[in-house]
């Protein structure tokens, strides 16, 4: 593999390379590198993102009647807090970047705003656990996930009084896409999911007496279907594999669809019986995946951008709320997507305000320059509504600087540019030669070229 | 210059085949009687869900007081503007503007299958979607998409905030976010060149956005100082924002849409004083702005739309507040209103839906009127024709 191909693969399959990882994989063959990526993912399958002990302590106390109001406030913020902790997990060198990237994809696909901390923990780890497994297991897990059932009003979906919200999104956003089913199919599908509910503690609960056991006609098939059988019917349609392939292509390859490549991904999904790992591995082996015309053409999502900054600048956030604040400014608070359709991605990440934050980001993070800007907040109170926060973070870019010091001092600027923005060596000439390497790194991390990957 | 070009693009482009060449070249907007180019729209979002029933009050209806024994506004405090509908005392300053015919109050505005979540209902209002539809562009964003193909300044639609609301996000064209001109100018100052010689379209897009941002930040900063309004605006958040809007308008700034918000309306507990204070801040700031525009002879070109993501439950809750509800009142203000006063009757308290006020006017028909009558554009491209014609502007 060429240097640029390696950078491309690690950018798309994860959050970019760290200097140490780069030195490690550089001499390996393509299949060895791909094995390395998947082996690390499989080693991390059981890992979890969790809220800190103080959350559970407060929860326990509240259940015993102590500090109920305090806990309610803690719980309201817990979802966004977990999203911040997840971001730190993505940047952790011991984590699998592929597993986290895949989970980020599924979080956007099965977009959900869990209302309580514990629901968020279960939803996120359920997605992470199945992120490279079988799509059917993942879909079933999400369909039984209490955060999702509540988010899409399936708690209110009862025999004789169905609520179609979940079934509509199941068909439109999760599996088949528009145009593959009728309004009647949505209604019949909703009947099959009646009674899929959850306990107040946040466990899946099938409410037998609310379930409609009658006959349904769904996608031209007739039977006394339950939810799982409906899912089987959906998965038997090639349109479902095509829908997933289109989304995977947009996320991992390019914003511009290519029907030939999408169709080969779709075949892979269908023929492997919805095996996600096999499908992703297939993609990473294709020659078209390494078409140089695709290098550096995707706008990094805020999550990808912030994780890259954490890794390069050696950042430690002293408060998770600082990450949440940054992500708010950039337009992607994890676990709080704008709606069930997720984030639109691509150019929609960029407007004048998010771009200004992006180019100032490394200065806020490594130079402790206060941002002075405010994030759109909750709607609760006038004064607290817009909180301008100090970003509480410390930076120690020792991995990057140590690695640079192993190079001839005359070549360091060039190496730095080649490493951070491999597709834009021309920027080496534009660096201020008198500036320190750290200042040069900051300037590159705040460049428009670095926004792409 | 830019503004003139925009007029050419938006008006002459459609009229071009019928207009002799020499007139096209003169580009004089006075040739067109229905010139909409100078018109400004100011949107004020009351965030949190303003309690419409305690804003415009059916005070002769005993049901109102039985639904709200604790928080019902006593008759002697209500500003009695008509026989059956009175105002929250906080709105007092707007009375003179109402009497001048510069306010139109639309009651019972909402949408079918109302959603009671702040963020979802705000989404619906900002995108102009149906309750079961998810749009990733805002209604103002789509207006920009349709208008700005050729040449719009980046700040054609301007939100006074550090980040941009979905309402102002289009597919190809976004509005512009700025809380303080000085701050944005400072933050957009950097060594990034204004263009790149790259053939990477995405990179070119980033360079263009950056250079447009710098240009607009500078223009807005200059315009905010160029000509200052003589009026003395209240020193509240909304007062300062409207003062800045006035300064920009008086400086001939080419922004057509200003997007502001006034928040704190999520009054689940002890709402009476809090809501009155918020409405007082609102009415003092807006009334000052209306007077300012009137004195500068700009009121006919000004339209203010005020909305909130939902109204509140008709029945008060146990903590002297109200919970999330559905239909609500919406205000239109300016000099060009066809039906000033009350546009329709107040809510029917005998006929509630799940304890909430029923909607009678779909909010998208108001957007439609703004797009078609205020800006003189075809409305079909924005919303389907399910919404009815309201005839709001003369």
Residue A375 is predicted with a pLDDT of: 83
Distance of alpha carbon A391 from the chain centroid: 23
Contact A379 B47 (CB under 8 A): yes
Q: For B202-213, give one letter per residue: b (16+ CB within 10 A) or e.
A: bbeebbebbbbb
Residue B279 is predicted with a pLDDT of: 98
Q: Is pLDDT at A429 greater than 70 in this prediction?
A: yes
Closest partner CB to A448 (pick from B166, B206, B216) = B206
Q: Is pLDDT at B68 greater than 90 in this prediction?
A: yes
Residue B30 is predicted with a pLDDT of: 33
Residue B146 is predicted with a pLDDT of: 87
Residue B109 is predicted with a pLDDT of: 98
A298, A332, A356, A387, best to mutate vs chain B, most B CBs in 10 Å: A356
B324 to chain A, closest Cα gap in Å: 13
Residues of A in contact with B271 (CB under 8 A): none
Highest mean pLDDT (candidates A157-161, B26-30, B375-379): A157-161
A168 to chain B, closest Cα gap in Å: 9
Q: Report the percentage of chain B scoring pLDDT > 90.
A: 76
Q: Report, as an integer, the average pLDDT of A386-412.
A: 88
Q: pLDDT tens across A103-141, in order? A: 999 999 999 999 999 999 999 999 999 999 999 999 999
Closest partner CB to A355 (pick from B169, B210, B216) = B210
Residue of chain A minimizing CA distance to B206: A448
Give the Cβ contact number of residue A236 at 10 Å.
11
Residue B15 is predicted with a pLDDT of: 37
Q: pLDDT tens across B95-137, in order? A: 999 999 999 999 999 999 999 988 899 999 999 999 988 898 9
Q: Is pLDDT at A382 greater than 80 in this prediction?
A: no
Closest partner CB to A359 (pick from B178, B184, B190) = B190
Give the Cβ contact number of residue B75 at 10 Å.
12
A374 near B CB under 8 A:
yes
Q: Is pLDDT at B6 greater than 50 in this prediction?
A: no
CB pairs under 8 A between A and B: 120
Distance CA B178, CA A373 (A): 10
B215 near A CB under 8 A:
no
B140, B162, B188, best to mutate vs chain A, most A CBs in 10 Å: B162
Distance CA A284, CA B38 (A): 55
* Strand B341-342 to B103-110 pairing: parallel
Are B158 and A337 in contact by the 8 Å Cβ rule? The answer is no
B50 to chain A, closest Cα gap in Å: 11
Q: Is pLDDT at B210 greater than 50 in this prediction?
A: yes
ipTM score for this prediction: 0.95
Residue B385 is predicted with a pLDDT of: 57
Are B309 and B121 in contact by the 8 Å Cβ rule? The answer is yes
Across chain B, mean pLDDT equals: 88
Q: pLDDT tens across A268-310, in order? A: 999 999 999 999 999 999 999 999 999 999 999 999 999 999 9
Stretch 303-342 of chain A: residues touching chain B, C-beta under 8 Å: 328-329, 331, 338-341
Long-range contacts at A10-14 (CB < 8 A, ≥ 24 apart): A10/A37, A10/A97, A11/A453, A12/A252, A12/A253, A12/A289, A12/A298, A12/A453, A13/A37, A13/A97, A13/A98, A13/A101, A13/A252, A13/A280, A13/A284, A14/A97, A14/A98, A14/A100, A14/A101
Distance CA B214, CA B82 (A): 50
Residues of A in contact with B209 (CB under 8 A): 350-352, 355
Stretch 144-203 of chain B: residues touching chain A, C-beta under 8 Å: 154, 161-166, 169, 174-179, 183-184, 187-188, 190-192, 196, 200, 202-203
Q: Is pLDDT at B3 greater than 70 in this prediction?
A: no
Residues near B107 by beta carbon (within 8 Å), at least 6 away in sequence: B52, B56, B329, B342, B343, B344, B345, B346, B347, B360, B361
Q: Is pLDDT at B43 greater than 90 in this prediction?
A: yes
What element of type H or E holds B342? Answer: strand B341-342
Residue A337 is predicted with a pLDDT of: 94
B269 near A CB under 8 A:
no
The pTM of this model reads 0.90
Query: Which spans in A208-288 are helix H?
Result: 227-235, 238-252, 259-271, 276-285
Q: pLDDT tens across B15-42, in order? A: 333 333 333 333 333 333 356 778 999 9
Residue B388 is predicted with a pLDDT of: 74
């Amino acid at each position: 593999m060429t240097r640029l191909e390696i950078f491309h693969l690690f950018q798309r399959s994860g959050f970019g390379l760290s200097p140490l990882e780069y030195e490690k994989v550089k001499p390996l063959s393509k299949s060895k590198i791909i094995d390395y990526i998947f082996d690390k993912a499989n080693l991390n399958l059981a890992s979890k993102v969790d809220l800190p002990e103080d959350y559970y302590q407060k929860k326990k106390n509240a259940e015993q009647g102590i500090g109920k109001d305090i806990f309610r406030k803690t719980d309201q913020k817990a979802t966004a807090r977990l999203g911040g902790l997840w971001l730190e997990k993505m940047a952790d060198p011991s984590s699998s970047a592929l597993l986290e990237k895949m989970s980020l994809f599924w979080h956007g696909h099965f977009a959900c705003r869990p209302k309580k901390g514990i629901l968020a923990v279960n939803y996120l780890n359920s997605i992470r656990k199945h992120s490279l497994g079988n799509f059917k297991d993942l879909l079933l897990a999400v369909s039984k996930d209490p955060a999702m059932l509540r988010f899409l009003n399936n708690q209110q979906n009862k025999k004789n009084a169905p609520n179609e919200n979940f079934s509509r999104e199941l068909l439109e956003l999760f599996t088949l896409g528009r145009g593959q089913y009728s309004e009647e199919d949505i209604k019949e599908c909703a009947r099959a999911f009646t009674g899929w509910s959850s306990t107040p503690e946040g466990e899946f609960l099938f409410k037998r007496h609310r379930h409609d056991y009658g006959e349904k006609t769904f996608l031209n098939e007739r039977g006394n279907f339950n939810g799982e059988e409906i899912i089987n019917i959906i998965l038997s349609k090639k349109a479902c594999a095509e829908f997933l392939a289109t989304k995977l292509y947009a996320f991992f390859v390019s914003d511009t669809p290519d029907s030939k490549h999408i169709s080969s991904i779709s075949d892979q999904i269908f023929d492997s019986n919805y095996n996600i790992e096999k499908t992703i591995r297939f993609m990473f082996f294709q020659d078209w995946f390494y078409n140089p015309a695709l290098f550096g053409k995707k706008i990094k999502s805020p999550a990808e951008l912030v994780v890259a900054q954490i890794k390069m600048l050696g950042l430690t956030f002293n408060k998770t709320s600082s990450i949440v604040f940054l992500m708010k400014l950039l337009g992607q608070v994890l676990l709080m997507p704008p709606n069930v359709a997720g984030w639109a991605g691509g150019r929609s990440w960029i407007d004048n305000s998010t771009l200004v934050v992006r180019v100032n980001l490394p200065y806020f993070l490594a130079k402790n320059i206060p941002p002075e800007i405010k994030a759109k907040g909750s709607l609760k109170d006038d004064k607290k509504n817009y909180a301008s926060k100090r970003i509480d973070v410390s930076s120690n870019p020792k991995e990057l600087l140590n690695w640079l010091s192993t190079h001839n001092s005359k070549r360091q600027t060039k190496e730095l540019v080649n490493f951070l923005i491999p597709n834009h060596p021309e920027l080496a000439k534009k660096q201020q030669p008198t500036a320190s390497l750290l200042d040069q790194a900051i300037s590159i991390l705040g460049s428009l070229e670095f926004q792409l990957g | 210059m830019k503004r003139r070009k925009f007029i050419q693009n938006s008006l002459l482009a459609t009229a071009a085949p019928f207009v002799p060449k020499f007139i096209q070249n003169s580009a004089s907007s006075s040739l067109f009687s229905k010139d909409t180019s100078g018109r400004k729209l100011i949107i004020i979002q009351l965030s949190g869900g303003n309690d419409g029933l305690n804003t415009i009050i059916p005070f002769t209806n005993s049901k109102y007081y039985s639904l709200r024994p604790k928080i019902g506004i006593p008759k002697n405090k209500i500003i009695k503007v008509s026989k059956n509908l009175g105002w929250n005392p906080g709105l007092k300053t707007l009375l003179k503007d109402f009497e001048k015919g510069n306010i139109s109050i639309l009651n019972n505005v909402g949408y079918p299958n109302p959603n009671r979540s702040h963020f979802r209902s705000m989404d619906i209002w900002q995108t102009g979607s149906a309750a079961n539809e998810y749009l990733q562009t805002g209604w103002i964003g789509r207006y920009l998409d349709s208008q700005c193909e050729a040449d719009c300044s980046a700040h054609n639609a301007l939100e006074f905030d550090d980040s941009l609301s979905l309402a102002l996000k289009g597919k190809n064209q976004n509005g512009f976010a700025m809380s303080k001109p000085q701050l944005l100018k400072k933050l957009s100052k950097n060594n990034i060149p204004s263009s790149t010689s790259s053939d990477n379209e995405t990179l070119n897009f980033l360079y263009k956005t950056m250079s447009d941002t710098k240009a607009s930040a500078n223009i807005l900063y200059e315009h905010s100082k160029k000509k200052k309004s003589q009026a003395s605006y209240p020193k509240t958040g909304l007062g300062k924002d409207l003062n800045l809007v006035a300064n920009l308008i008086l400086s001939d700034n080419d922004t057509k849409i200003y997007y502001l918000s006034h928040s704190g309306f999520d009054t689940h507990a002890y709402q009476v004083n809090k809501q009155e204070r918020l409405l007082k801040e609102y009415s003092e700031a807006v009334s000052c702005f209306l007077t300012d525009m009137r004195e500068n002879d700009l009121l006919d070109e000004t339209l203010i739309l005020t909305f909130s993501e939902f109204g509140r439950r008709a029945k008060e809750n146990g903590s002297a507040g109200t919970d999330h509800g559905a239909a609500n009142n919406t205000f239109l203000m300016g000099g060009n209103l066809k039906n000033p006063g009350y546009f329709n009757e107040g809510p029917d308290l005998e006929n509630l839906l799940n304890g909430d006020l029923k909607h009678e006017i779909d909010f998208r028909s108001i957007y439609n009127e703004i797009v078609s009558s205020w800006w003189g554009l075809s409305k079909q491209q924005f919303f389907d024709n399910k919404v009815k014609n309201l005839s709001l502007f003369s």
